[in-house]
Amino acid sequence: MTQRAMFPPADSPALAGDREGAGFTAMVLGVMSLFFMVSLVGILFSIPTGLGAIGCGAVGVRRAKRGEASNGRTALIGLVLGIAVTLTLGCGVMWLDHTLSQAYG
C-alpha cells in the first residue's frame, strides 16, 4: 500500500483502492447535524447525526493519517462540525434542564 500525505494537493487524483467513505460520510453527517440544529424541527435528530459525524470523522482522519485515504480535510471538517454541534446542543439541553428545574422545581 502506498503512503500519501494526509492533506494532499487539491489537484492530485485519487488512487484506486482509496477508502474515502468515512471522511465523506462524516462531512455529510456534520452538515446535516448543523442544519438540524438550526432548524428547530430537527433538534432531536441533530445529536445522533452529530455523534455519527464524530465517529466517522475519527475513522476518516485515522485512515488519512495512515495513508489509506486522501480526504483528510473532509474528515476533519466533519469531525469538527460534529463536535461543535453536539457540544452546543448538549450544553443547551443541560442549561434548559437546570433553568426549568429551578423555575418549576
Q: Name the pTM for this structure.
A: 0.79
Nearest to 92 by CA among 49, 41, 31, 43: 43
Residue with cell 484506486: 16
Per-residue pLDDT of the chain (105 residues; tens, 9 = 90+): 566 666 666 666 655 467 899 999 999 999 999 999 998 777 889 999 999 999 999 999 999 999 899 999 999 999 999 999 999 999 998 999 999 999 997
User: Is the Cα torsion angle 20, 25, 30, 31 positive or negative in sign?
Assistant: positive
CA 63 to chain centre: 15
| Pairwise CA distance, residues 93 & 105, whole Å | 17
| Pairwise CA distance, residues 65 & 83, whole Å | 20
Upper half-sphere CA count for residue 32 (Cβ side, 13 Å): 17
